[in-house]
Amino acid sequence: MDKWENNRAWFLVLPVFFIVAFSAIIPLMTVVNYSVQDIFGPGQRVFVGTEWFEEVLGDKRLHDALWRQFLFSGLVLLIEIPLGVVIALLMPKKGWGASASLVILALPLLIPWNVIGTIWIIFTRPDIGLLGAAINTMGIAFDHTASPIQAWITLMFMEVWHWTPLVALLAYAGLQAIPEAYYQAAKIDGASAWSTFKYIQLPKMRGVLTIAVLLRFMDSFLIYAEPFVLTGGGPGNTTTFLSIYLVKIAVGQFDLGPAAAFSLIYFLIVLLFSWLFYQALQNVGKGDVK
């Protein structure tokens, strides 16, 4: 009797199993399949073991792209998280101002990624772009297609403009969830604005900020559309991030084996860092998590 009931439990899990299999496991295994074989055509395949992995791991250009990627994601987090929190703190708590600022904040989030690239290409063009032309008339030579630093600055600007609102919205939601009584208690205790932020607002925002850091890390680590549209990875290779390099190998050179190996490594890196961030944020000064 017990055994029968256990078997029935397995049937109940089956639908989930199929969905996960088709949405995640099977596609992932296809990539694994490519990463360990050299495929010339239908029926012509050679098992190559870890050869592609070794090749990719030894690739100097991949190392460069990886460091570039870490620098980019690190800067993104350093700018977007504090900026988002500051914006959330400055936003009105209620009334029409709250609704208005929410709508304005949400605008960049509604624009498709490739359109963002196009908008900023036009916006920063030195000849006709509003921003580009303005900077150039001020006497600063600005052209993101020529200078790597300026290409990076433009990209960071795009990224910050596009995604800080998400952090701000999350932080704002976290702030709104704090009962008014906490602020009263702090006032009665005679706490300063800084103490209130440090001991009430920040710990209370921990949950949403964890999500914000994870989302922004993963997303910026996978950035593709913006640099692809804006610079195509240039000037030189200075904005060739991991995904751009990956697409160059897979589509540009049609090296599916190394591209698959690369994809898997890429996936593992994102997974590892997301886990590390999650662990770190859960354990630092444990407070109100649940």
Partner 1 sequence: MGLTLEKLDKIVGQEVHLKDIDLHFEPGSRNVILGRTLAGKTSLLRILAGLDRPTRGRLLINGEDYTGVTVRKRSVAMVYQQFINYPSMTVYRNIASPLLLAKLDTAEIDRKVRQAAEMLHIEHLLDRLPAELSGGQQQRTAIARALVKDAQLLLLDEPLVNLDYKLREELRIELQAIFERRESIVVYTTTEPAEALMLGGNIVVMDEGRVLQTGATPDVYHHPGTLKVAEVFSDPPINYLQGAVSGGRASFGEGIQIPLSGHLADLTDGDYMFGLRCNHLFLARRNPDDIELSARVTLSEINGSETFIHIVHGQDGLVVQDEGIHPVKIGSALSVFVNPSRLFVYNGGGELVASPVQGRY
Interacting residues with partner 1 (CB under 8 A): 179, 181-182, 184-185, 187-191, 199-200, 202-204, 285-290
CA dihedral of residues 87, 88, 94, 96 (deg, nearest 10): 40
Give the residue with the Cβ less far from partner 1, 125 or 204: 204
Query: How far apart are CB 169 and partner 1 at their closest, in Å?
Result: 22
Give the residue with the Cβ less far from partner 1, 23 or 195: 195
Cα distance between residue 196 and residue 185, in whole Å:
10
Query: Of 81, 83, 80, 93, which Cα lies nearest the Cα of 209?
Result: 81
Taking 3-state DSSP, the helix, strand and coil percentages for the chain, each rounded to the nearest 5, stand at 75, 5, 20
Query: Of 163, 161, 167, 144, which Cα lies nearest the Cα of 233?
Result: 144
Query: How far apart are CB 161 and partner 1 at their closest, in Å?
Result: 32
Query: How far apart are CB 183 and partner 1 at their closest, in Å?
Result: 9
Q: How would you class 154 by CB atoms within 10 Å of its CB: exposed for 0-12, middle for 13-18, buried for 19 or more?
A: buried
- Three-state SS for 175? helix
Give the residue with the Cβ less far from partner 1, 107 or 188: 188
Give the residue with the Cβ less far from partner 1, 54 or 288: 288
Query: How far apart are CB 213 and partner 1 at their closest, in Å?
Result: 17
Contacts of 290 (CB under 8 A, 6+ apart): none
Query: How far apart are CB 181 and partner 1 at their closest, in Å?
Result: 4
| 235: preceding bond cis by omega (within 30 degrees) | yes
Taking CA 98 as the corner, what is the angle to CA 287 and CA 164, rounded to the nearest 5 degrees?
Answer: 60
Cα distance between residue 58 and residue 262, in whole Å:
11
Query: Of 237, 268, 247, which Cα lies nearest the Cα of 60?
Result: 237
- One-letter identity of residue 77: L
Give the residue with the Cβ less far from partner 1, 63 or 198: 198
Give the residue with the Cβ less far from partner 1, 70 or 199: 199
Query: How far apart are CB 179 and partner 1 at their closest, in Å?
Result: 5
Give the residue with the Cβ less far from partner 1, 60 or 290: 290
What are 46's strand-pairing partners?
Answer: 38
Give the residue with the Cβ less far from partner 1, 113 or 278: 278
Query: How far apart are CB 89 and partner 1 at their closest, in Å?
Result: 18
Query: How far apart are CB 188 and partner 1 at their closest, in Å?
Result: 5
